[in-house]
Amino acid sequence: MKKVVIGMSGGVDSSVAAILLKEAGYEVIGLFMRNWDSTINNDFLGNPNLNNNICPQEEDYNDALAVCNKIGIPLHRVDFVKEYWDYVFTYFLDELKNGRTPNPDIMCNKYIKFDYFIREAKKLGADYIATGHYARIKDGYLLRAIDDNKDQTYFLSQLTKEQLSNVLFPIGDMVKSDVRDIAQKYDLITAKKKDSTGICFIGERNFKKFLENYLPNKTGDVIDIETKKKVGEHNGLMYYTIGQRKGLDIGGYKDKMFVVGKNLDKNILYVSFGEDNHYLISNSCLVDNINFNCDLRPSECSVKFRYRQSDINAKLEYLQDGNIIVRYNSAKAVTPGQACVFYLGEKCLGGGIIKEVRLNDEKLWYLL
């Protein structure tokens, strides 16, 4: 009997994935990862929405344990707090300091869930590892999930071919409603539990209040990029992302206001007014930190610059330094620091990190 070690998060997806693996005849072992010290800057306690004032991480562990006991599999617990800090959270903070918009979930998958987790699973004698991600693997290729609305291949784009070997995604062929139906059938505590949001493993928090523990709050001018006039003050460049409209905290203006750029040296946030905002438009970008999970190197493919974004047709120009110039007709709010993920039909080929955003091969001066 083949042994599978599955990452149990305390959510409905990993719960059902474990059930499916057991029904398929595998020997299933659960492994819960503790990746954040919940006693640090804990702003959860006292939240009336939490059960008995237990922080979400401990509640997740209790739910994972309850599920494992219910379906009859063991659950181990492992501590990756230091590794998460070193490889994910430090990267997250450094990118914010540089005025970029990072995606910590992608790095968490690369360094924690599919690296340190795999090492721990091997100690338990795993033939395979499994997670509750919405994705598929077929003939050695990483494929989009059947449920387009839940597909998570975007977040798996930095995984290598080696990391994806001997990996199972049991719910990749399912839609979310069917996953919840199975959880209901087994009367699992996670059946109606809402999906997790917020920063990977840190959870939902007041983002500004949380970051103030790690990054100095430096206010600065908000400049109308059209008139070059000051229209307000920002609370710190790290709190804003390109294309952002809500939460700008700048009153007195009837027209819609968008974040269109940043100047890190002068601590300036650039905004623009109006519905049709051409400052957010680009037609190429430079992508570094390239990772491919297969041997395919197409000259044309589709790309995503954000999770759940519709595919954008693009041409890839491979540079000698290993970076790629991605050319497309037009896209809005392409943002330095975010991932650019490559697709060929249902195959996810990998991706990289957006370094520069360009219009007609000229770097947009108001973008970092």
pLDDT of residue 38: 67
Q: How far apart are CA 125 and CA 31, in angstroms?
A: 13
In the predicted structure, residue 54 carries a pLDDT above the cut 60: no
Q: Kindly report the pTM of this predicted structure.
A: 0.92
Q: How far apart are CA 191 and CA 194, in angstroms?
A: 9
Q: Where are the alpha helices (DSSP H) in the chain?
A: 12-23, 56-71, 81-84, 90-97, 104-108, 117-123, 161-164, 176-185, 207-211
| Cβ neighbourhood burial of 109 (10 Å; 0-12, 13-18, 19+) | buried
- Taking only the tens place, the pLDDT of each residue in 145-163 is 999 999 999 999 999 999 9
Q: Is the CATH number of domain 216-273 2.30.30.280? A: yes
Q: Where in the chain is the domain with CATH 2.40.30.10?
A: 281-363
User: Nearest 5 degrees, angle CA 312-CA 155-CA 68?
Assistant: 145
Q: How far apart are CA 50 and CA 156, in angstroms?
A: 30
**Is the model more confident about 365 or about 203?**
365
Q: Where in the chain is the domain with CATH 2.30.30.280?
A: 216-273
Nearest to 118 by CA among 108, 134, 129, 132: 129
Q: Which CATH architecture has domain 3-185?
A: 3-Layer(aba) Sandwich (3.40)
- Catalytic residue positions? 108, 200
pLDDT of residue 44: 46
Q: How far is CA 150 from CA 31, 91, 173, 200, 301, in A?
A: 23, 26, 11, 16, 21
Is the CB of residue 6 less than 8 Å from the CB of residue 131? yes
CATH number for domain 281-363, candidates 3.30.230.30, 2.40.30.10, 1.10.8.870, 3.30.460.10: 2.40.30.10
